[in-house]
Amino acid sequence: MDSENDKKALTESELIDRQVEEIMTDEDSADGSGKRKKKRRKKARSGEKPSLKERWKGYSRKRKIITVVVVLAAAAFLLSRCGRGEKGPVAVPVNVMSLTRQPIKEKLSVSGPISGTDSVDVVSNIHAEIITMNVKEGDKVTKDQILAVLDKTDLERDLQVAQNAYDLAVVNKQEKDKSEALGYEKATQDLRKAQADYNRNSALYAAGDISQVEMEQAANALNDAKRQVEGYNVVNGRGAADASYELQVQNAAIDLEKKKEELENAEIKSTIDGTVVRVNSKVGQFADKVEDDKPIFSIENLDQLEMEIKISEYSIGKVQVGQTAVISADILDGETVEGEIIKISPTGEEKGGGSTERVIPTTIRIDGSNSKLIAGITAKAEILIRESEDAFVVPVTSLIDDGEATYIAVVEEQKVRRIPVTLGVDGDVNVEVIPADGSEFTEGMQVILNPGPMTVDGALVTVLPQM
């Protein structure tokens, strides 16, 4: 009576554990004649595998139930055979399912952050105080909208200094151009006069009317005049200031342009249409001294969201641009959002964490701007790799792989027949099977769920009641 009450107090899982433990104890202690063997116990040694009992406790409830059924059937089969002393063929108990056509989908589950399709960090390198902040987090902005204004006092002064320096450089060059033009004109005139004197004296010297000293003086004057002309920078036939003056003007112009840009950038503007997602500064702070080197503003285009994922090198071969994805996240409260793969990186990168595996960055565009998804959260995506609407589907545990081919085992007239198959859509738990080598399937075939070494072609079997 007490035993019955104890059994009722046990949970279903505990009862299964106890029954299997008793069966395993009986099988371990019974020899072929029904006599008990003396139990042998050995102390656990360091490095030994977990005991059968420990492994059993780690099984799921479903696996325990299946194991109990198989063990009970096998035990009944062995005991009945030993008890009757049978020597002929004995049927092997098996669990089966009816082969039917059904839809199956192959999916790849990944996770990654949600972000806007376009984003920008607004920064400033101007050392000026922020005097106005025109937006706050969550505000929508348009391109070129003024987000903040800086103190312009020093910037306007610097611009005036730069303008004066530029104007002075231009004036200096203009004056130098003028003086050089006049100097060059006079030098060319002097050269023409010296050339004429030299020609006249050459004729006189040839006639013996002037001395050699006078002739040499004329030659020297001509050479001096030539050197004077050659010393000028000539542009378009006119004397002009040398390149250093032009360089001074260019440098002054660059500095002036820089000061103009700084003054213009004292009004900090958005470069895209979007939403202000972060504000990291405030009035009174210097624009170029934001804490932790953060941007003054972060803006994202949230009208179109994207999901950035990283796919293993072992799975990327199944992924293609255009494939659909179903996106889920806690914020969706059980709802899902559709997406589409729009970009796959042409190169992989390290997965990290000490792993040698490589991953490939991939982008999913999320459909619908009215979803509850927001940028910055992590979501899960199930990518539809391929699907079949009308396939013969079996559990992966039904497959037999002998190293050369893959089979399923079916029961026909209480005997096993192995059918060679090729695998189609892989649904993780279930898989599409396609008959190979001219074989055929018919709906309703009894497929053995967990074929073992005894379920060979022609073996006698007994189909166990389905649970």
The secondary structure of 224-246 as a DSSP string is HHHHHHHTSEEETTEEE--HHHH
Question: Which two structure tokens, joined as six digits, stand for 388?
Answer: 């079949």
Question: Which two structure tokens, joined as six digits, stand for 133?
Answer: 């902040």
State the DSSP code for 218. Answer: H
3-state secondary structure of 260: helix
Mean pLDDT of the chain: 83
Who's near 3: CB < 8 A, 6+ residues apart? none
3-state secondary structure of 157: helix
* pLDDT level of residue 66 (50, 70, 90 thresholds): very low
- Render pLDDT for 212-265 as a digit per residue (tens, 0 to 9): 999 999 999 999 999 999 999 999 999 999 999 999 999 999 999 999 999 999
Among 314, 311, 371, which Cα is nearest to 341's?
Answer: 311
For the residues of 302-316, what is the DSSP string, one character each? TTSEEEEEEEETTTG
* pLDDT level of residue 460 (50, 70, 90 thresholds): very high
- Render pLDDT for 5-28 as a digit per residue (tens, 0 to 9): 444 444 444 544 555 455 444 444
- Render pLDDT for 132-185 as a digit per residue (tens, 0 to 9): 999 999 899 999 999 999 999 999 999 999 999 999 999 999 999 999 999 999
Q: Please provide residue 369's backbone torsions phi and psi, each rounded to the nearest 5 degrees.
A: -90, -5
Q: Residue range 192-214: average pLDDT?
A: 92
3-state secondary structure of 247: helix
